[in-house]
Amino acid sequence: MFAPLRQRNYGKIFLAQVLSDLGNWLDFIALNTLIVYVWDLGPEAVAALVITFALPWVLVGPIASVWIERVPKRMVMISSDLIRIAIVLGLYWAPNLYVLLPLVFLKGSCGAIFDPARHSAIRMIVPKESLPQAVSLSQFSVQSTKVIAPILGAVFVSMAGARSAFLVESVLFLLSALLLMTLPVLKPQPSDGEPTQEKESFWVQFRQGWAHVITNRLLFVATLSIMVGLFINFMYDGLFPLWTKHLHMDEKVFGMVLSAIGLGSVLGAVVIGQFAAWQKRPLAIMSIGAAIGGSQLLLMGLGGLEAIGGGVYLWFIVFLVLGMSSSAVFIPFGYIMQMETPQNLIGRVSATTNAVQNTTMLVSPSIGAFLAKIFGVGYVFFGSGLAMTLFGVSVLMVSFRISGGKSVKSSDKEGSVSA
């Protein structure tokens, strides 16, 4: 899995992502602490924060991705990091929610611009045969920092207050920018006879990203699958504290059990990164991962309904498997997106899939909360598990009907990189 790190330029991008991911999770903890504990605001404020997190990926990312394809990727990533330093320092001084939310939106917009540029840069630097490992490493970064950040966040908050995490985050973004400054320019050169993107209209290029997702059968089914999966996920995701409380677990046990999801995701990324067999049927692996995750949610639902009992260690294992199943979904999806998309479209396509995924965050949590209020938390977990399992099995059957599900091949013409 770690073979791509031997490529110096990819190693720099990966380390920059680790710093950025770590900062983002510290940020998430600090913002929630500030809203709930410092300002003593209610669930409406937390919901507003979640929506503000998602909006830039839905509104800004797809539009900005057209511009991203036209300019050197290094410049985009460095600029995003430097702007985020100023925004994060603004968060440190934010006096109330009305100032904080616009800053969160601006910071998210920078992230929505940075991510497509990073995907494009990886595609330009990493050889095709190493892309599966690169995708696994990306998931490894996201999930490992999810485990580490709460520990660091708790230390910073207890020692210097919630706002101290913003100062640490600004330093992490600065280090990321300094690393990225040592990269080559990363500007693809058009092939002979191929029109330059500057000659095409903005809206033509904007539609190309969406058109590619819709017309590529394997990518379309994979994107639709992850959208439905995340819709189900976000229905129960915010209900974990209520579920653990219902099972008479205290805050410490809740934190330990919940950390198992992150640990499971890290283990899943490592395991998947060691094997290549799944690359023959990535959509099938996605569906199996969804079905396994659904089975764990069914167990949690039965626990919430008091139909089955179990101690902390049982639920730790359930959460661990749930985390591993998420890697079995996200890593093959990232692989499909990279391999089924031409290099000149990867920024727009990644922004499009990000927009589709984050749209679910705008509506699904409210539906989950509404259902929990009417039927109870246990029924939401059980229903989500049943839906996820059935959906995973359905996608598995569909995957065998898609010829591309047998083998993912890139039809890409590789672009050159300007140093």
**Predicted pLDDT of residue 404:** 46
Q: Which residue has the tokens 């991705």?
A: 65
DSSP 174-228: HHHHHHHTTS----BPPPTTPPPGGGS-HHHHHHHHHHHHHH-HHHHHHHHHHHH
- Give the SS3 label for residue 417: strand
Q: Which structure tokens are listed for 193?
A: 């006879």
DSSP 134-185: HHHHHHHHHHHHHHHHHHHHHHHHHHH-TTHHHHHHHHHHHHHHHHHTTS--
Q: What is the CATH number of domain 1-187?
A: 1.20.1250.20
- Give the SS3 label for residue 63: helix
d(CA 9, CA 183): 6
**Predicted pLDDT of residue 341:** 86
Q: 202-408 has which fold?
A: Growth Hormone; Chain: A; (1.20.1250)
**Predicted pLDDT of residue 66:** 80
Distances (CA, A) of 160 to 150, 153, 166, 266: 15, 10, 11, 29
**Predicted pLDDT of residue 206:** 74
* 322 sits in which H/E element: helix 312-339
Q: 417 pLDDT band (50/70/90 cuts)?
A: very low
pLDDT, one tens digit per residue, over 56-88 is 988 888 888 888 878 888 999 999 999 999 999
d(CA 406, CA 397): 13
State yes or no: pLDDT of 37 exceeds 80.
Answer: no
d(CA 47, CA 238): 10
Residues forming beta bridges with residue 417, ordered by sequence position: 188
What's the mean pLDDT in 342-364? 84
**Predicted pLDDT of residue 153:** 73
Q: Which structure tokens are listed for 183?
A: 């990269």
pLDDT, one tens digit per residue, over 189-213 is 554 444 555 556 767 777 888 888 8
DSSP 255-281: HHHHHHHHHHHHHHHHHHHH--GGGGS
**Predicted pLDDT of residue 325:** 94
Enumerate the domain spans of the chain: 1-187, 202-408
Q: Do domains 1-187 and 202-408 have the same CATH topology?
A: yes
The amino acid present at 143, given as its one-letter code, is Q
* Number of residues that make up the chain: 419
Which residues have C-beta within 8 Å of that of residue 45, sequence separation ≥ 6? 35, 36, 39, 97
Distances (CA, A) of 314 to 255, 259, 308, 317: 15, 14, 11, 5
pLDDT, one tens digit per residue, over 152-190 is 776 777 787 778 889 999 999 999 999 999 988 766 555
The amino acid present at 76, given as its one-letter code, is V
Residues forming beta bridges with residue 188, ordered by sequence position: 417
Q: Which structure tokens are listed for 186?
A: 């990363």
DSSP 127: -
DSSP3 helix / strand / coil % (the chain, rounded to 5): 80, 0, 15
Q: Within its chain, how far is the Cα of 3 from the centroid?
A: 22
The amino acid present at 129, given as its one-letter code, is E
* Average pLDDT for the chain: 83
Judge contact between 388 and 291, C-beta under 8 A: yes
Q: What is the pTM of this model?
A: 0.77
What's the mean pLDDT in 13-25? 87
- Would the CA dihedral through 253, 22, 335, 134 be positive or negative? negative
Contacts for 134-138: CB closer than 8 Å, 24+ residues apart? 134/4, 134/10, 134/338, 135/331, 135/334, 135/335, 135/338, 136/1, 136/269, 136/270, 136/272, 136/273, 136/331, 137/1, 137/2, 137/4, 137/5, 137/14, 137/269, 137/273, 138/14, 138/17, 138/334
Distances (CA, A) of 325 to 25, 98, 233: 21, 38, 12
Q: 3 pLDDT band (50/70/90 cuts)?
A: confident
